[in-house]
Amino acid sequence: MKMKLVPSLLAASHSFTQMKKQLAPLVKRGLIDAVHVDVMDGEFVENYTLDWLNAELVAKLRKAFPKLFIEVHLMVHAPSSYFDEFAKAGANRIWVHVESIDNEKNLNNGLKKHKKVEFGPALNPETRISTLKGNLRSVLIMSVHPGKGGQRLIPATLTKVKQLRKRFPLMTISIDGGVDVKDIKQIEKAGASEAVCGTAVFKGNDVQNVLRLERQL
């Protein structure tokens, strides 16, 4: 199956009006059907995005693009405390870093409460896949160190993707970080189902950038 491209709004305009203008032609032409919202608290990672990449933005996106699949990437301490607001705002999937899980009881309670929302673990580059537990539908592999956009993909992280694909043929495996036109083909060959793309989409002409990435697949 062809790998899906998921634009990261971290690289999009901070103005929601401008963000809508960026996304509208991509959605209208069927070039994308999902977006990635990076939520950073300034503690788990250095960067802070809750002033604009937050539940209010998710709610606005849900209203503006009702059919869009919205995934929220929680790069925060105490992730379970964010579940309610993002689930109620309209998130379809929430990624939770295994390195940030503060309280497994609270985490499990949150998962049970929001059964309509898909939850998946996210792994930092140094975190081994042996930390994954349970019967998982999806996983997010960080191919850069989380917290900043514009980094180069760490090639060794593709080994994780290959190992996971071999063990779990039907799992949704998403890769996030440093994805560009030069690396997109080897990411697909490694076995990724989805690739989160930031500057590769939003730096320059968004439509042409997505079409350029698509031509490599």
CATH code for the domain of 130: 3.20.20.70
Which CA distances in Å does 156 have to 162, 171, 211?
Answer: 10, 20, 27
Give me the pLDDT at residue 103, please. Answer: 61
In whole angstroms, what is the distance from residue 75 CA to residue 49 CA?
10
Mean pLDDT to the nearest integer, 140-161: 91
**Of 176, 180, 183, 206, which residue is the catalytic one?**
176
* Number of domains making up the chain: 1
Decide: helix, strand or coil at residue 77.
coil
Q: Domain residues for 136?
A: 4-215
Give me the pLDDT at residue 126, please. Answer: 94
Residue 34 has pLDDT above 90, yes or no: yes
Mean pLDDT to the nearest integer, 185-207: 96
Residue 38 annotated in active site: yes
- Burial category of 176 from C-beta neighbours within 10 Å (exposed 0-12, middle 13-18, buried 19 and up): buried
Mean pLDDT to the nearest integer, 168-187: 95
Give me the pLDDT at residue 109, please. Answer: 74
Q: Are 193 and 173 in contact (CB under 8 A)?
A: yes
pLDDT digits (tens, 9 = 90+) for 71-83: 999 999 989 999 9
pLDDT band at 1 (very low <50, low <70, confident <90, very high): confident
